[in-house]
């Protein structure tokens, strides 16, 4: 918030501003073909003026929101692209894709990629996990018909499901603390629900849209032309992919243990392992290891390796900038108070608590974009009602998961993840709305229904 400034517009005008801003983005991008990066900056600026943010604070707010988003994703995308390029260039992606196809079969390849992504998604955040898996997704897609959505949507959904519902990811952990839920019980129930939610809202939806939107695999990591000599073994490639996941687990696992008072987070060794396990550091270490294992050991020299990793940055530069601009737009919406005003109105309607937490999270998600912000904010708003409601332990777990389900509803143009998934998979805005936005909505509804069932049974 801006010191000394209070939003004077009511919920109605703020809702109209938000709807108008989103409509303007869609018109400029889809109808007038204005570049998404320019569109998001322009509409963010207009929204800031219209919602009454002090003129002297608008540009600093834009820069802060843009930089805050880039700080989270730019390093991940750049380092992940380098790692993916090394795996692709060495022939590792082709080797692993052939192994996965032989194990699962061609018809069940999307299922295999999704299950692998669910496992990888336990310790790793959505954006980092998707980046690490992309070269394998692309290689399988090229081998089996060159249709990226058929294989990409199930895998991306798997990372989204784990990130939104399952501790030790930050959103569900924070919501558990605010509601007074048992984090361990939330973890167990969330893992049980993760597979059916993914299967219904990710795998089945991914196979459905994959047959209706035939999109070729983007050339983010080059093309697999089967000319690689001396490719690495499957075990080597799996080891390279698991390395950042293991390192990241140091961080997320230690955070979880620290919250449970199992380890002392002030200890030096805990802080060192936590630092090594942050996603950017883990990916940096993995890239360095890959340079040696997939480069030097295969006879590549320093200059050639430098060119390989440098060539990975060009294709993702637009993705990075557009993702940052999407975060900028979401930041302006949060600063304007649009989400808070709508949530306050809904909180006074007297509807059942489990439905109220989902609806408030939905409104916050649609209004400002960030799933984690929507989840934590909704939990903070509804915590007094939940704590005073006399609910059983399992019912509080169900309320936590219902809030998480609401926070993923309808990813669209104010969500940096919308631009990340769309651009990485080579989709335009219209196609991303038809595929990823609908998928996130299905994931939200299916997740809420499962949470509602738990609430009713227990």
Q: What angle do CA 285, 286, 292 make, to 5 degrees?
A: 95
Q: Which pLDDT score is estimated for 342?
A: 61
pLDDT single digits (tens) 147-188: 999 999 999 999 999 989 987 677 887 788 888 898 878 988
Q: Tell the residue number behind the tokens 């801003």, with chain if given.
A: 21
DSSP string for residues in 369-415: --HHHHHHHHHHHHHHHHHTTT--HHHHHHHHHHHHHHTTTT--TT-
Q: Which pLDDT score is estimated for 254?
A: 76
Give the pTM. Answer: 0.74
| Secondary structure of residue 144 in the 3-state scheme | coil
Q: Which two tokens stand for residue 340?
A: 């808070």
Q: Tell the residue number behind the tokens 């219904």, with chain if given.
A: 200
Cα(378)–Cα(388) distance, integer angstroms: 16
Helices then strands, counting H and E runs in the chain, come out as 22, 0
Q: Which pLDDT score is estimated for 226?
A: 46
Tell me the residue range of the domain where 244 lies. 68-164+224-316
Q: Are 397 and 166 in contact (CB under 8 A)?
A: no
Cα(274)–Cα(279) distance, integer angstroms: 10
200 inside domain: no
Cα(233)–Cα(230) distance, integer angstroms: 9
| Secondary structure of residue 222 in the 3-state scheme | strand
Task: Select from 214, 426, 171, 212 the least CA-distant residue to 315.
Answer: 426
Cα(408)–Cα(171) distance, integer angstroms: 11
285 inside domain: yes
Q: Which two tokens stand for residue 190?
A: 């969330």
Q: Which pLDDT score is estimated for 446?
A: 97
Q: Which pLDDT score is estimated for 206?
A: 95
Task: State the total domains in the chain.
Answer: 1
Q: Which pLDDT score is estimated for 251?
A: 74
Give the bridge partners for 378, in sequence order. Answer: none
Q: Which residues of the chain are under the pLDDT cut of 70?
A: 1, 72, 123, 168, 221-229, 252, 339-350
Q: Which pLDDT score is estimated for 350?
A: 67
């Amino acid at each position: 918030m801006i010191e000394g400034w209070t939003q004077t517009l009511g919920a109605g005008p703020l809702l109209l501003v938000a709807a108008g801003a989103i409509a303007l983005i869609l018109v400029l991008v889809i109808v007038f073909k204005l570049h998404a990066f320019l569109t998001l900056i322009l509409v963010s600026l207009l929204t800031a003026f219209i919602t009454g943010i002090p003129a002297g604070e608008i540009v600093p707010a834009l820069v802060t929101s843009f930089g805050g988003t880039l700080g989270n994703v730019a390093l991940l995308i750049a380092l992940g692209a380098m790692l993916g390029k090394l795996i692709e260039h060495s022939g590792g992606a082709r080797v692993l894709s052939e192994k996965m196809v032989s194990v699962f079969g061609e018809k069940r390849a999307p299922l295999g990629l999704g299950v692998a992504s669910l496992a990888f998604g336990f310790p790793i955040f959505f954006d980092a996990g998707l980046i690490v898996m992309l070269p394998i997704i692309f290689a399988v897609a090229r081998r089996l018909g060159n249709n990226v959505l058929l294989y990409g949507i199930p895998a991306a959904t798997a990372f989204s499901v784990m990130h939104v519902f399952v501790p030790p990811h930050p959103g569900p952990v924070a919501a558990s603390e605010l509601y007074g839920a048992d984090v361990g019980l939330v973890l167990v129930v969330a893992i049980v629900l993760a597979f059916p939610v993914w299967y219904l809202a990710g795998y089945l939806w991914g196979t459905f849209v994959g047959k209706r939107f035939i999109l070729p695999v983007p050339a983010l990591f080059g093309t697999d032309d089967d000319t690689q000599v001396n490719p690495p073994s499957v075990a080597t490639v799996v080891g390279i992919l698991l390395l950042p996941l293991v390192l990241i687990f140091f961080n997320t696992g230690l955070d979880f243990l620290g919250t449970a008072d199992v380890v002392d987070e002030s200890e030096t060794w805990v802080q060192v392992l936590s630092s090594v396990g942050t996603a950017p550091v883990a990916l940096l270490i993995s890239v360095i290891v890959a340079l040696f294992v997939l480069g030097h050991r295969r006879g590549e020299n320093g200059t050639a390796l430098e060119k390989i990793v440098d060539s990975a940055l060009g294709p993702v530069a637009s993705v990075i900038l557009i993702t940052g601009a999407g975060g900028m737009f979401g930041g302006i919406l949060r600063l304007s108070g649009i989400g808070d005003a709508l949530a306050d109105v809904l909180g006074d309607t007297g509807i059942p608590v489990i439905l109220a937490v989902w609806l408030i999270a939905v409104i916050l998600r649609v209004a400002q974009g960030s799933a984690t912000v929507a989840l934590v904010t909704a939990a903070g708003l509804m915590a007094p009602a939940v704590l005073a409601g006399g609910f059983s332990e399992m019912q509080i777990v169900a309320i936590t998961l219902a809030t998480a389900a609401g926070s993923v509803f309808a990813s669209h143009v104010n969500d940096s993840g919308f631009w990340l998934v769309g651009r990485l998979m080579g989709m335009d805005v219209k196609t991303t709305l038809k595929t990823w936005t609908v998928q996130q909505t299905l994931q939200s509804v299916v997740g809420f229904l499962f949470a509602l069932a738990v609430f009713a049974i227990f």
